[in-house]
Structure 1
Amino acid sequence: EEEIVAAAREVLPALSGRIEMAVDARTVGDEILWVPTSHAILDFGEGGRATSDERGEWTLATDASLEGTTTLRGTGATVVNYGPDALLPFSAEGGGTSITLRWDDGGARAAERDTYRAIERARETIASVFPDLSLLTAPIRANVGLPLRCNAFWDGKSINFFQVALDEEGQVVCHDTGRILDVILHEIGHAIDQYAPGGRQDGALGEFIGDLFAWVHTDSPQLAPNFFGNGDPVRDLSANLLFPRDIVGQVHHDGLVLGSTMWDLWETLRASGIEAAQLRPPFLAPIADAQTLLEWYDALRFADDDNGDLSDGTPNECAIWDVFARHSVDLATPGLHWPLSPMPECPDAPPRLFFERRVYPCAGEVVLYYRNPERIGA
């Protein structure tokens, strides 16, 4: 009997279709991509509702012809425009008809579509690393097109983005921040930081986390390219910053000190053949453990561990130690380097010499005598 019922359900006439949206590939001026509008709600009034899946596909079990509408307020994202909200009305004929709905400038502003896409992408990543994070229990709200300039922010409940800013001559000072993937992901990073264990405590760490959540998706050291009218990004992670020399007490810059270190590690591990998708979980997992910049190194080693035993090392501990050492001012002097664990045994690592005697900068030469026991007699 159960088999007969299942077969009957399979042949029931249904309305079905797919929803797509046009989005900037990454930032204003990029190629326009058509991507699925995932987890969107289609409202058919008394005819019922349908929700699109991750492929943008939906089905409604009815053979009736119906009028419907959809918005950019879905089960995972709620995008609110400063002005008329996005609205896409449509008609669907009964008898097993399949239709394709397309969001473009006729139904929604670019910032609405770009922000919706970014939230959906972010939720997928968050669920893979922090599946129990309460941030995921409700749609993430975004307000776009706010009449302000050159910024964006997380206010504890929603992410907020500003309109394009023009100078007196009509030239772009900075673009609509709701159209820049990196900026949207950065603000979602602040939300993750708030909802993760410990909450938001360290401003510099919070800015680093926002940047981190952006570049683990873009695989690029340029944060928010084309943010400014001249095409410049907001920050460049490829800067060779050292701890603690470059800590200046400004949260964005201080976060960049750890950001440049972690980007160096990302490049190192990517060059070894590890895919970006494999690196995202261990790079993001320390958010749940580290509460300050100085706690990140130990949290990262814990995230890199593969057997619950740090005493036997971690798969990438040599690369982690080496990169954090390179971004330290002086490994021989307490307080002038990241708080590192003892140097791991790394057979392929180049030899290092650590000086315990301070050499004062003055005219003249220093002659260093040393020997390598492994090469004696070679």
Structure 2
Amino acid sequence: MNKIIAVSLFMFGCGRPLKQVNSDELHTIVARGPVASREASQLETSLQLASANTKIYQMYRFADSDVVHKILFDTSMVEVETGNPELVCQEQIRQHQELLTPFTLANLELAKTQQIGKDLVQVSLQRLENQEKVRNAFVECLFSRSEDGLKLQKITNNSFFHAPLETGESLDATDIRFILGEGGGLLGEIKKSWLARPEAVYQTSEFEYQKGREMFKLTIANATGEILEGSTKNLAFRQTLTGSVYHRSYLEENHFQQSLPLTPILTSQGTVVSSKDGFFQSSGSVQGVKLESERVVVYGADEAQPMVVDHVDHGDYGVAVSDPDSNHAGLNSFASIHRINKFARQYLSPQDVPFLDKAIDVRVNQSGECNAFYTTGRAVISLFRAGGGCANVATVNDVIYHEWGHALDDHTGRVQGVTDGAFSEGIGDIVSAFFNQDPTIGVGFVQDENYGIRRIDKVKVYPRDTGEVHREGGIIAGAFWRLNESLQERYGKDKGQDLAASYFFKHLLFTDSYLESYDSLLILDDDDNNPATRSPNFCLITEVFAAHGLATSVNCEDDAPQTFEADTSLTLALYDIGPEQVGAVGSGHGIDEFYLCMGSQKTCLQDDRIHLKLPLLSRNDERTFFAYKGALPLQGVDVVTLISKDMNGQVTGSRLVKIFTK
């Protein structure tokens, strides 16, 4: 029989009878994660409004609200504004005050100005109530920026962002006392804040409490005791210096040697630090390495000082270290954090996310079993030792990448912190899946088993699959995985993977909920900074997110050109045939026809009329050769696309090469 949390910490003002909630129900509530906003629908009056104000292209509002959620502008009609983006944003909000009621500029405070790429800037203003900030309530302006000034693209009103839980559970004072730790209850901490909901703002209390290794949070309306939100913060789970670590997990038969950058090396003549590439110089003999760098610091169980690895193998060109004393947990987690940090830096800079230049603490071989978690605010990852049928999670790289994804979420977005538990779980899974290019998460988590703990290629749909945060996180994780696959189908493996990862990481800079991800991707995909025109991959992105309930399906096709896998077997040799004139010999492996095109792949693959065919010269078992016997028109050309085709004239591959003049 469940214990009934049954007493008066303080009295609620409403006076209505409140439902008592037992401890199991509490965990059911928090498992739902943060309360999600609803999908906005296009206003039926958009066209009439647009005719009255030609700058407005489209408007959206929530079905149960008269407040406009989003205004899109046709930038071809918008005037260029000069001056401070924050002041321009405030002026635009004042001009559209009638649509954005009921708040006024006096109720808004500048929260953040975020540069997005080279030519976009977003200004976020946070709503105030009684001079206190309303949590997760923002009004935002998105501008395109040029040398001439700013053009307004969009105003988004997220000042009424949360919907109530359908069940409306309530806590009485006894329940709260239990959460705060009285009578053997859960240890918690109270915080007062304001919370925005569909047509009002409520003062709330937040209660944080811990059960086992997980930290939970409840948000409760002061006036009624109603539970407005519940969430969990943590996962229910010039010599060279190299380290003996795992590619992916302990299941691999052999370790591999990974370079260890920025690592303190203990030598007989003092401590030196390896370079970003893992190189170092020292005439002293190496005695060990300290697992403490600018990216990560690793601690053993109950240790106050960073771990030191002293198993050293001296080779001809460097030093290799291994970590058998901690079952390879310390060194493997150290190397994994460096690896995933480097991966993210392909798309985010430390200027965008200063966290990338800060060390995260990792604690390995922690007591307990079958778990790992990230602690928000403190930037600490805890990895449990083997036991209970589960492996030492510090030797399962998928889990390390996932937890680091929580840390990235904690340090990106409009405000610091994990604002959406389900989104954070999805972020962790996407980081792991995109790095591995595998939708299976947690391979090896169960001891000696090569299957994972979940897959993100199973279609989960909003709102059907909302609830437990790891399951709900599969909605956004699945959407991004399908986007990754779809972009590869359109652009080829390398470019498709790179584009999907770029969109994912960059959208975290200005996105706090997975229900905002679709709009954020359209901003990043926009190639003309005009919401009135479709972005190159609008239809693809929309259909992918619609399949997961995160967008409305549309019947359209993108104009994006079909591209192909880069064919690295294609080569081009140029030779002089006269003053400022060159001829060419091209070749490829097993190809039928060879073409040149003066320009980029995107331009060349859109129009085959600009392809220049090279006649067949000779063929052998290894390569087929083609020669152009005239003078190539290369004056002023700096890039050339090589194209292979089959006997039917269909493109089978392409490669971009640069032309240099000596």
Q: TM-score range by the shorter chain?
A: 0.7 to 0.9
SS at match of 2:297: strand
CA-to-aligned-CA distance 1:112-154 (integer Å, 9 cap, x gap): 1221111111221333333221212322211111011111111
Q: Which residue of 2 aligns with 1:42?
A: 265
Return the match for 1:226 from 417, 440, 444: 444
More helix by share: 1
Match of 2:373 in 1: 153
Which among 402, 405, 410 is matched to residue 189 of structure 1?
405
Cα separation, 1, equivalents of 2:371 and 2:313: 39
Identify the residue that residue 502 of structure 2 maps to in structure 1. Answer: 281
| Deviations 1:225-258 (CA, angstroms, capped at 9, x unpaired) | 12113443121112122222222x2111111112
Contact in 1 for aligned 2:333/2:400 (Cα 8 Å)? yes
Change (3 A) 1:326 1:58: same
Is the counterpart of residue 293 in structure 1 residue 514 in structure 2?
yes
Cα deviations by residue, 1:30-77 (Å, 9 ceiling, x for unpaired): 2422111122112347x45422224321124xxx55565422222322
Q: Hey, what does 1:346 align to over in structure 2? A: 558
Higher alpha-carbon deviation: 81-90 or 182-191: 81-90
Q: Distance in 1 between matches of 2:469 and 2:284?
A: 56
Q: 2:393 aligns with which of 173, 177, 181?
A: 177
Distance in structure 2 (CA, Å) of the matches to 1:91 and 1:207: 39
Aligned mates of 2:500, 2:408 — CA distance in 1: 18
Contact 2:522 2:535 in 1 (8 A): yes
Q: Tell me which amino acid in the other structure corresponds to 1:86.
A: V
1:236 aligns with 2:455: yes
Which one of the candidate residues 335, 340, 358 is aligned to 1:117?
335
Find the counterpart in structure 1 of residue 256 from structure 2. 33
Compute the displacement of 1:342 (Å). Answer: 6.3
Q: Distance in 2 between matches of 1:246 and 1:90?
A: 50
Map Cα deviations across residues 256-300 of structure 1 (whole Å, 9 max, x no partner).
Answer: 112112211111112330422443121222212222221111012
- AA at the equivalent of 2:375: D
Q: For 1:178-236, what per-residue CA distance to the aligned partner results, in whole angstroms no more than 9, with x for missing partners?
A: 11111101111111111113231111111111111111101111011121134431211
Match of 1:304 among 525, 532, 551: 525
Specify the alignment match of 2:358 in structure 1: 138
1:318 corresponding residue in structure 2: 539
What TM-score do you get using the length of structure 2 for normalisation? 0.44
Q: 275-284 or 33-42, which moves further after superposition?
A: 275-284
**Take 1:39 and 1:148, find their aligned partners in 2: how far apart are those partners?**
31
In structure 2, what is the equivalent of residue 76 of structure 1?
295
16-25 or 48-57, larger mean C-alpha shift: 48-57
C-alpha contact (below 8 Å) 1:88/1:107 kept by paired residues: no
How far did residue 305 of structure 1 move?
2.7
Q: Residue 486 of structure 2 aligns to a residue in which SS? A: helix
**What does residue 319 of structure 2 align with?**
101
Structure 1 counterpart of 2:651: none
Residue 315 (structure 1) shift: 2.8
CA distance in 2, matches of 1:72, 1:344: 53
Q: TM-score, normalised by structure 1?
A: 0.74
Q: Secondary structure at the match of 1:311?
A: coil
**Do the aligned partners of residues 113 and 126 (structure 1) sit closer, same or farther apart at CA in structure 2, a change above 3 Å counting?**
same
CA deviation after TM superposition for structure 1 residue 89, in Å:
7.0
Q: How far, CA to CA, are the matches of 1:75 and 1:181 in structure 2? A: 20
1:310 shift after superposition: 3.6
**Corresponding letter in the other structure for 2:445:** F
Alpha-carbon contact 1:70-1:89 (below 8 Å) kept: no
Partner of 1:327: 548
**Counterpart-to-counterpart distance in 2, 1:191 and 1:244:** 26
Distance in structure 2 (CA, Å) of the matches to 1:104 and 1:65: 19
Whole-Å Cα distance in 1 between the matches of residues 312 and 247 of structure 2? 26
How far apart are residue 90 of structure 1 and its match? 6.4
Separation in structure 2 between the aligned mates of residue 26 and residue 119 of structure 1, nearest angstrom: 12
Q: Residue 376 of structure 1 corresponds to which residue in structure 2?
A: none
Letter in 2 for 1:148: G
TM superposition shift of 1:343? 5.8
Listed as ranges, the gaps of 5+ residues in structure 2 are 1-237, 561-662
Q: 1:21 to 1:67 in 2, by over 3 A?
A: closer
The 3-state SS of whatever aligns with 1:101 is strand
3-state SS, counterpart of residue 154 of structure 1: strand
Whole-Å separation in 2 of the counterparts to 1:27 and 1:65: 34
For 1:67 and 1:259, the matched residues in 2 are separated by 44
> 1:313, 1:344 within 8 Å by CA — same for their partners in 2?
no
Secondary structure of 1:165's counterpart equals coil
**Alignment match, 1:212:** 430
Which structure would you say has the larger RCO, counting Cα contacts within 8 Å and 6 or more residues apart? 1
Distance 1:79 1:244, change over 3 A: same
C-alpha contact (below 8 Å) 1:144/1:178 kept by paired residues: yes
Partner of 1:260 in structure 2?
Answer: 478
Asked whether the equivalents of residues 68 and 91 of structure 1 are also in contact (C-alpha less than 8 Å), the reply is no
Contact 1:144–1:162 (8 Å) recurs in 2: yes
CA contact (8 A) 1:41 1:74 kept: yes
Name the stretch that deviates more: 154-163 or 129-138: 129-138
Taking a change above 3 Å as real, the CA distance of residues 278 and 35 of structure 1, as seen in their structure-2 partners, is: farther
Counterpart Cα distance in 1 of 2:293 and 2:509: 27
Residue number in structure 2 paired with 1:251: 469
Q: How far off is 1:160 after superposition?
A: 1.0
Give the match's secondary structure for 1:324: helix
Uncovered stretches (5+) of structure 1, i.e. residues with no partner: 1-15, 167-172, 329-337, 349-378
- Greater share of strand: 2
* Larger of the two Rg values belongs to structure: 2
Measure, in 2, the Cα distance between the counterparts of 1:57 and 1:291: 39
Q: Give the secondary structure class of the aligned counterpart of 2:517.
A: helix
